[in-house]
A and B are shown apart, each in its own frame.
Chain A
Amino acid sequence: MKRSNAFPRWALVVAMLAATACDDILEVDNPTVIEESDLANPEGAELLRRSALALSFNAVSYSAYNSAIISDELTAIPTRSTLLSDFVWTDYLLDLRSTQELLMSWRTISGYPYGPLQEARIALTQALNSFAKYGLPSQRPHVGQLYAFRAFTIVQLAEQVCPGFPLHDVVGERPQYSGPLTAAEALERALVDLDSALVAAGDSSRFLNLAKVVRGRALLGLGRFGEAAAAVAGVPTDFVYNAELNGFPSGFNMFTNVGWYPAFVFDGLSVSDREGQNGLDYASANDPRVPVTLAGTAEDGTTPAYAQLKYQASTSPIPMASGIEARLIEAEAQLNGAAAGDWLATLNELRQTQVSPALPPLSDPGTPDARVDLLFRERAFWLYLTGHRLGDMRRLIDHYGRDPERVFPTGAHPVAGTYGRATSIPFTPAGEEYANTGVTGCIG
């Protein structure tokens, strides 16, 4: 009889388990997890905007730093760690412009600045998608800002990265893939964004001016000088839009001005001085626009090591767009257009008013090539370490017909080897094969 009494107890156990073994018992609540539903509102869109901007600032920093190395702004010098530190070793390879070795080494450092630029661009897209769904009318100027930023990242990609990169996006939660693009195709995409930016920015002069300068820069890249000048018309000369950096590295290496470290010469980089015969005399020009200090000598005991003083903290902001850049765009349009006589006045006006003490006025060098050289030298000094120089050197080749060997550093590298022929930063097509996008790497 006892035995029969046991069955109801087990039946009770079964019933209990049946009751509890439902979804509820498996539910977990993680207060640190952000659910998508938490972001499905205007505040969520704003949170995404902030991170997208921050990622963009991060990309600006990497872009400025890396383009400075492959161009003539910074150079690798033979220090003890030049050959030992992977980080600086990569910088040396980048400085050497040897495409094959760049590709090899680039895998190990996340493809700066290509990766950060693409991350920022896609984050901007996600923020834009969120504003489209949940944004309030009062947030519309921020939509303009986001479009301008996205265009900016595309312009940076076009100027610095070799042709063949894609512009993938996220639609909903799924990736939407693009094929490989040329620089011109990318810049056209940027112009579309800038059209949207100019409309959405409304009466926000700050965002409008940002969009105008970026538009001018994109059009300059397409060789449409007149349109470029028109785009930046009205941008005040004292306007500046900075990439803000908080100097506190996170897991994404965000928000630090990676080029700031005043003693970075000890890690094997120096401000260049006539690098590879063709480089400009940044270090020895004693120009207040490129402040430097002689920090010592390289390990060979002879090569001088110059530290830049333009950015003296990890939080130093980096100008993304400025009124000075607008005037420089106008000057280039003047040099290439009907108002050729005004270009020098435009440059001298900047030298007189935008730097203290004022710089002596320039005189006309007399020949077209020399004028172009002078204009680009002025751009190089005004825009030092802001991510413009590499694009300018490429434009000298593409739009002004210069021989790359007369534009980029050539000959023997001060560390070892001989300068290569790369004129852009390569990217690695990681993940493209899995996604079947057809993107295979540089196409030119």
Chain B
Amino acid sequence: MKRILLPGLLAASLVAVLAYPAPAAGQAKLVQARESGAPAPVAGGGRFHHPVTLNAVDARLGDVLADIAAQADLALVYGSDIVPVDRRITLRVRSMPAADALERALAGTGITITPVGRDQVVLAKRVEPAEPAAPARVQTGAVAGRVTEAETGTPIAAAAVSLVGTRWRALTGADGRYRIDGIAPGEYTLRVERLGYEEATRSIVISGAETVQADFALTRAPAELDAVVVTVTGEQRVRELGHVVGRIDADAVVRTGPVSNVSELLNARIPGVNVSTTSGTIGGEVNVRIRSPNSIQLSNFPIVIVDGVRYNSFQEITNGVTSFLIEPTSRLNDLNPNDIESIEVVKGPSATALYGTDAANGVIVITTKAGRPGPARWRAYARAGITEMPNPKTPDIYWGWTTGAGSCTLYNVSLGTCVQDSVTVIPSPYNDPDLTIFGSKPRWEYGVNVSGGSEQLRYYFSADFDEATGPVQFPPALAKRWREERGTKLPSEHLEPNREERLNLRANMVAFLGDAATLRVNAAYTEGETRNISLDNPFTRWPEQGRPDGDDPYGGQSPFIAFTRSSTETVNRFTGSAIAEWRPTTWLETRAVVGLDLPSTYRYTLAPRDIVRNYTGSVSEIRARVQSTSAELGATATFGFGRILSRTSVGAQYVRQHRNELTVSGDNLRPGGASLLDAANRSISQSYSETVTLGSYVEQMFGLNDRLFLTGALRADGASSFGNPYDPAFYPRAGVSWVASEEPFMPRIPGLDNLRLRYSYGAAGLQPTPGMRRMAFQSLTVNLEGQTNPAVITIRLPSPDLRPEKVKEHEFGFDASALDGRLQLDLTWNRRKTVDQITTVSLPSGLRTVYANIGLIEGEGFEARVVGRILDRDDVSLDVILNHSTSTSKVVKLGGQNPVYGTATSLVEGFPLGARFMRPIVSYEDKNGDGIIGPDEVVMGDTAVYMGKGTPGNTQSLTTALGLFGRRVRLSALFERRGDFMQVDQISFYGRTKLRAAVDPTAPLEEQAKVIATYLGAPTGQGGASYTFMAPGDFIRLREASVAFDLPDAWARAARLSSATVSLSGRNLALWTDFVGADPESARPFRYQGGVASTLPQARSWIVRVDLGF
């Protein structure tokens, strides 16, 4: 019986849709149009519903209309030859919506009432549609016009223009113009929709072979109620959603900002979305977290969907050669940000339930640019700049000496093992241009794209080449020494071990198949090469390894070891999707999506022999082939019943992800050897994983008066990792959205445009990785009796009852707009709970582990977004965006597991995931009066104490944009703050025997006690909480700054350009922090953990960009 649950739900859902009665013609029109004597429309809003009070007795209709318009602050547009203004009417109403009052006033006149925008209403004579005639005898008309941006007057391309309830539709071209031909005579509502803009409608009458002119000026609506966003079930207006959706208008950011990849595009623009880059190297690891982490054992990375296709954003983490760490490469950044139209972030299970299993961490929906009708429109751009590393705060190193030979630290002195007679201080090599490993390096990018097409077929093609060198280098003095000692020059991959090249190609096509169907095909190819290694050791351990002898402050080993190891990863990636939409009737929309994502990576890593004494070298090759296949079918039926709107969606999704990785490695290389054939010892390993998820969903939304929306949904998933039989997992969702300000009974608050309250609840899952349920074995090779034989070892006992983790979330918030849209405010609270938390249970020694659903994690957060237009004059404008978010998670239950204490990895009931614990210093005292602190003069606490969160508990970002000279010159700055977390100073920790407090007897006793504490270990049973250097990591960063200049039109025209923009921008330009380590932001997080600041500081870049349209 369990086997039919999944298709059964889907079938029931579809049957529910199909069981709707075919709507009568009138019903269908009620949804989209309004006419006298008919129920109110569902579209429209703003002042149209403002309450009015009238006491008109035998009054002139024109006066009554004027009164209504005045009370509601509406502009009524009508001709006095159409509206019988001298007609006498009586109308007494109290706090009635203006719409209803107009309807009563005009009852019996045959006048239609059509709201346009927020504050206009068009009154027109209703024309009864003629009976359908034979096509040959019908004289058809046309509508044409231009769609522009209300604020700037610039044309808006790709806006959807349609006659509501009909098959007639068109998209605007690059110049914002559109035309729809072949329209049968009649009265229609003309609607214009465009992502990021408020929807606009207008009533038109086609009376014959004529062309009606209808221009629209759309208002930008980044957070407005009638903006359209992409959901699982298709495009929906914001006002219908019970949850918040973060949105980034990518093109506007990329065109002038210091943004080189998707992670920089995502960073600090949406509250609750936290992007961290592990280090300042180029092409390195990127972590994206939305709200608080959910899982201990599974991924906390959101899923990424590009043009309807699941996009692999995994990061290569396999080392291959285990002797050193390789910097992972971010696959998210394979996408070219110049190709992205918009990014929408769906933040939590309350919104992502319909995305199903794996969507608990949120969903990032990326839409790439679509073709635009009209002649080919070219755009070319070039970027040039430098990347550099700000000098980090690194301590000088100290050596203490004793008579004879050897070093003598204060610790040794206190133990009586040496007597110190001198101290040597070595300044930080990072301040010496000959010794530093940091340098300024160039970066370039060139790109071109073209879009155009006809009404039937549109295209967008792009090509982009990006080349960047990371801001690290082999120390010049050491490179020189190498040349002198060995007589050869270091190869470029050692001199500049961090470099990236990337070629992106994209082709997007849209075909209109008849009147009711469209087919969009997207294809992208990426070829890239990233050379990167972990430079943690030379950076963080130089104080430890630095020697006072010779001229090498790094100890003669670190840079040689790290920089002479090279690791290069190449990627070839194809991503393609086909999206078919078919509207067989006016009330039914259907959609089918198929897609492929095929990233193949190859990583070659070499650690040559004899770089340092006794090192025999190692080499590895890793080939990973990943295949992600997505397919989706969906249908949405929309009906109106009086004032009620019904929207029913059903669908099914199939996702298959397959990864096959082959690693071959070897060590003990022959002299000069660089291939596996040169290795005396070789080993091979293979990892293979495959998951299949099949889900079906049904969603029902009811709207009342276009003000109150109730949504309920359920998704059922079967997945390969659920085991056989496949018990489906169910993910419910419910949401309420109420535009309270449009309710007639709501008093009008001066200055307030609208106010919407919203609430949603939902659950989404995190499925176990493949094989978690099974007893796990591993193949290996053993030597027995002189022969090499295969063997099998048990590595994990089975967990037959393992279930997916389920994250349940409540979200509540409101959106408000005031001062004619000059001020927008979104506030959102969320509370979530991860039940059935999968935890690795360590069984008693020898029994290894099992997985069990035993944990419970809770989290909560708050997000606020304020968008304000401070100045809005023709010559000057000033916009401000402030984002704020807080989030925290708490381990509620570990299911009897022993708590884990650590500087970054703690799992302790009652404390945040990844909290930082430390053994405290209770007291210290120089008891023997020798001026130094010894081990027996420091009293340590018996138990570790909670120090703080491992990841920022709150973040803020402030964007200011100043427009001058009619916005031809634009200056913007983005500041980001992260706070409420503790960070570990790894440099001091590793160099704890070379700090001043470890060597210099004149150092403050408090500092000496900190050093001594590092020797005294962790409290009993709290092994990870050994003392380490820890401090608040709060910081403020000037993340972005830019100045952009649009060349005057005359200049552009003289150069035969349609537009020309030049910009100068910078990234990570300044850092304000009290943290004593190098950079509190740079850390290598893992799953829920915050990581420790052991990686290179964030790099700074300066970029000049020229963007030309022609």
Contacts and interface: CB of A to CB of B under 8 A. Distances in A.
A433 interface: yes
B7 A17 contact: yes
B418 interface: yes
B662 to A, nearest CB: 10
Given A3-B22, A173-B798, A21 B6 contact: yes
A173 B789 contact: no
A338 interface: no
Interface stretch (A118-126, A284-292, A394-402): A118-126
Contacts of A2: 584-585
B3 A23 contact: yes
Contacts of A26: 692, 694, 718-720, 722, 724, 726
18 contacts: A6-B585, A21-B696, A25-B692, A26-B720, A26-B722, A27-B692, A32-B687, A50-B792, A83-B1015, A120-B846, A123-B793, A173-B798, A416-B415, A416-B417, A431-B898, A432-B844, A433-B898, A437-B844
Given A2-B584, A3-B584, A39-B777, 14 more contacts: A6-B585, A21-B6, A21-B10, A23-B724, A25-B692, A32-B686, A34-B779, A48-B791, A105-B1023, A107-B1023, A175-B847, A244-B784, A431-B841, A434-B896
Interface in A111-134: 111, 114-115, 117-123, 126
B681 to A, nearest CB: 6
B406 A33 contact: no
A248 B780 CA distance: 11
A137 interface: no
A78 interface: yes
A51 interface: yes
A101 B842 contact: no
**Interface magnitude class on chain B:** 35 or more
A299 interface: yes
A244 B725 contact: no
B623 to A, nearest CB: 14
Contact of A25 (B681, B694, B778, B798): B694
A133 B405 CA distance: 66
Interface in B566-588: 584-585, 588
A120 B15 CA distance: 59
B777 A30 contact: no
B790 A50 contact: yes
B544 interface: yes
Contact of B844 (A51, A166, A174): A166
B407 A17 contact: no
Most chain-A Cβ atoms within 10 A of its Cβ — which of B405, B691, B770, B847?
A: B847
Given A14-B10, A246-B783, A28 B770 contact: yes
A395 B779 CA distance: 40
Contacts of B681: 248
Nearest to A427: B845
Contacts, number: 223
B629 to A, nearest CB: 12
Interface string B391-424: 0000000000000111100010001011000000
B797 interface: yes
Contact of A3 (B411, B585, B689, B789): B585
Given A26-B720, A83-B1015, A166-B844, A18 B690 contact: no
Nearest to B688: A32
A197 interface: no
A250 interface: yes
B748 to A, nearest CB: 44
B771 A30 contact: yes
Given A51-B782, A104-B1018, A44 B792 contact: yes
Contacts of A250: 780
Nearest to A33: B771
Contacts of B488: none
A224 interface: no
A300 B415 CA distance: 13
A136 interface: no
Interface in B525-544: 544
Interface of A: 2-3, 6-7, 10-11, 13-14, 17-18, 20-23, 25-36, 39, 44, 47-48, 50-51, 53-55, 78, 80, 83-84, 100-101, 103-105, 107-108, 111, 114-115, 117-123, 126, 166, 168, 170, 173-175, 177, 244-246, 248, 250, 252, 254-255, 299-301, 416-417, 427, 429-435, 437, 439
Contacts of B726: 23, 26
Contacts of A417: 415
B804 to A, nearest CB: 13
A10 B692 contact: no
Nearest to B13: A14
A430 B898 contact: yes
B333 to A, nearest CB: 29
B842 A54 contact: no
B441 interface: no
A431 B843 contact: yes
B774 interface: yes
B1017 A119 contact: no
B725 to A, nearest CB: 7
B440 interface: no
A429 B843 CA distance: 10
Given A21-B6, A23-B725, A33-B774, A434 B417 contact: no
B1020 interface: yes
A75 to B, nearest CB: 16
A231 B6 CA distance: 66
Interface string B47-84: 00000000000000000000000000000000000000
B868 to A, nearest CB: 48
Contact of B782 (A29, A108, A170, A246): A246
A111 B846 CA distance: 11
A17 B633 CA distance: 10
A53 B793 contact: no
B845 A118 contact: yes
Contacts of A100: 1020
A431 B797 CA distance: 14
B783 A301 contact: no
